[in-house]
Amino acid sequence: MDELWELAWSAWKRGRYATALAAARRYVGGAAPENRLEGSLLLVKLLAEVKRFSAAEQVLDGVLEEASGIADPDFQYAVHVVRGELCKEKGDYVGAEAFFRKACDYSGEHTAPLIHLGGTLWYQGKLAEAEAAYRRATTVDGDVDEAFENLGYVLRAQERNEEALAALRESLTRDPGNRRVRRAIEDLEAALAMP
């Protein structure tokens, strides 16, 4: 079963959606009850990403029915993140914001919900709020390099280029192989060097 889980995740990350969906469905079909919920949440994410919203909502409804009464904060966090991602994929950024804020209530001391929240706020044009979410994400556990990267981008969008450059350089010190950040730094350096 672990092989199916790994296959589903790795295929998803490489954009191999047919393989990811097939592996996730097989994992959910054969997993122990405690793992089936986690696999179902992955299946919801995959279905949402390929724009099969009705199917994603159907699987999510099944997860919520099966898990009614589970008060575990990690599970509640995961459900709220998945619901937020589903809303975001549908273009419902207000709904996504609400779910990501709720996810922060369950796991506000980790970068993931804050980065999700920052992105959703940014999509709505709420740059100051997105900046605040990303700044907070730079101070907690998790993917701090990604938090600095996104902070740099939102600062760049506000034409606060020196601050953006500093944030992106901090991101690059934490993840030296990130080519996307290197390109953004080059862009900012060129803009700042203009007479």
Question: Tens digit of pLDDT for each residue in 97-112?
Answer: 999 999 998 876 889 8
Token duo for residue 24: 């996730």
Residue 174: partners with Cβ closer than 8 Å, 6 or more residues away? 144, 145, 148
With pLDDT > 90 as the criterion, what percentage of the chain qualifies?
57
Quote the pLDDT of residue 118.
Answer: 97
With pLDDT > 70 as the criterion, what percentage of the chain qualifies?
97
Quote the pLDDT of residue 40.
Answer: 85
Quote the pLDDT of residue 1.
Answer: 63
pLDDT band at 34 (very low <50, low <70, confident <90, very high): low
Q: Which helix (H) or strand (E) holds 85?
A: helix 73-90
Q: What is the dihedral of CA 99, 101, 105, 108, to 10 degrees?
A: 120
pTM: 0.79
67 vs 146, higher pLDDT: 146
Q: What is the mean pLDDT of residues 111-137?
A: 96
Confidence check: pLDDT of 157 > 80: yes
Q: CB neighbours (10 Å) of residue 39?
A: 24
Q: What is the pLDDT of residues 57-101, one digit of tens each?
A: 888 888 878 777 776 777 788 888 888 988 998 899 999 999 999
80 vs 18, higher pLDDT: 18
Determine the Cα angle at 103 with ends 4 and 122, to 5°: 100
Average per-residue pLDDT for the chain:
90
138 vs 58, higher pLDDT: 138
Question: Looking at this protein, which amino acid is placed at residue 2?
Answer: D
